[in-house]
Amino acid sequence: MDSTRIKMTENKLNPDSWVDQYADYLFNYAVARVSNAEIAKDLVQETFLAGLKSAKNFQGAAAERTWLIAILKRKVIDYYRKINSKKGKAEVRMTYSNQSDSAGDWLEENVADPFSTLENDEIENEELGLAIQECIAKLPKKQSSVFVMKTIQGFSTEDICNELGINPSNLWVMVHRARTSLMGCLNENWFKL
Amino acid sequence: MINCEQASTICNKKQYKEATLLERINLSLHLFICKACSSFSKKNSKLTVLCNKADLHLLSEQEKVKMKETIERSI
């Protein structure tokens, strides 16, 4: 944690560590916005390449991660411009849901529910995802790969054991350690919800 | 009766729906008498809920290696 702080105050770029440090963070950001893992992966890759190309323009005014996110944002916008460039694709279609009552006041019925907190949920989930991700990054390498494979990618115990060359009781010990560390690392507030 | 260590392992397995019926029965009996384990179990289940809710997407190691190669080629 301290080392990243120091890096942030210096604001230098070290592209060698970009993938390890930021790929997951950028990927999550992109997936949330384009909702397609393949496209998101490509956008992250493009972001790194664009970052390299314009590395000499980096002023050091922002932290590396912020700077990369700024590039990724442009990439996401460009992506939507590209798919919407054909005429008519960008139009908003509103269909009247109830056929029999098409004389109704559709505008009034389509007004947003002022008591809905659905949009807050999404923001909250993104923050939660970020918090979990930062905690996973702090785990020892082996524990984090076991935890990620098991919990996030949903592999079976058998597959993980074969791939990593461990036995099931090893696996459960590592899962246990990872889960206990995560419980300690995640802010108490998340557990109160 | 099972001890706390066994209970925590079963509790972890339960998070991934891999605990057998007998294990689950043993666990709930243990949680009934052990305060420490029952608070661990609650937190553990909550962690599972949080992980599902966050809907995390992480890149696999192979994908990261591929990215690194592409970056190195363009340096």
User: Given a cut of 70, is residue A88 above it in pLDDT?
Assistant: no
Mean pLDDT of A54-80: 88
Residue A168 CA to residue A161 CA, distance in Å, equals 6
B50 and chain A: CB distance < 8 Å anywhere? yes
User: Given a cut of 60, is residue A6 above it in pLDDT?
Assistant: no
User: Given a cut of 50, is residue A26 above it in pLDDT?
Assistant: yes
Contact: A132, B60; criterion CB under 8 Å: no
pLDDT tens per residue across span B50-70: 998 887 888 877 888 888 888
Domains of chain A and any CATH numbers = 2-84 (1.10.1740.10), 126-192 (1.10.10.10)
Residue A22 CA to residue A35 CA, distance in Å, equals 19
Contact: A182, B47; criterion CB under 8 Å: yes
Contact: A190, B50; criterion CB under 8 Å: yes
Residue A186 CA to residue A127 CA, distance in Å, equals 12
Whether the model pTM is above 0.90: no
Selecting from B18, B59, B74 the residue whose C-beta is nearest the C-beta of A49 gives: B74
pLDDT band for A55, please (50, 70, 90 cuts): confident
Collect contacts of A179-184 with beta carbons under 8 A, ≥24 apart. A179/A147, A179/B12, A179/B15, A179/B44, A179/B47, A181/A135, A181/A138, A181/A139, A181/A143, A182/A132, A182/A135, A182/A136, A182/A139, A182/A147, A182/B47, A183/B43, A183/B44, A183/B47
- Within 8 A by CB and 6+ apart from B31, the residues are B7, B37, B38, B41
Nearest CA in chain A to B72: A16
B73 and chain A: CB distance < 8 Å anywhere? no
pLDDT tens per residue across span A37-52: 899 999 999 999 999 8
| pLDDT at residue A1, as a whole number | 44
Q: SS3 breakdown of chain A: % helix, strand, coil, rounded to 5?
A: 75, 0, 25
Residue A33 CA to residue A97 CA, distance in Å, equals 27
User: Given a cut of 70, is residue A63 above it in pLDDT?
Assistant: yes
Q: Which of A184, A144, A64, A164 is nearest to B43 (CA)?
A: A184
| pLDDT at residue A7, as a whole number | 45
Residue A40 CA to residue B5 CA, distance in Å, equals 42
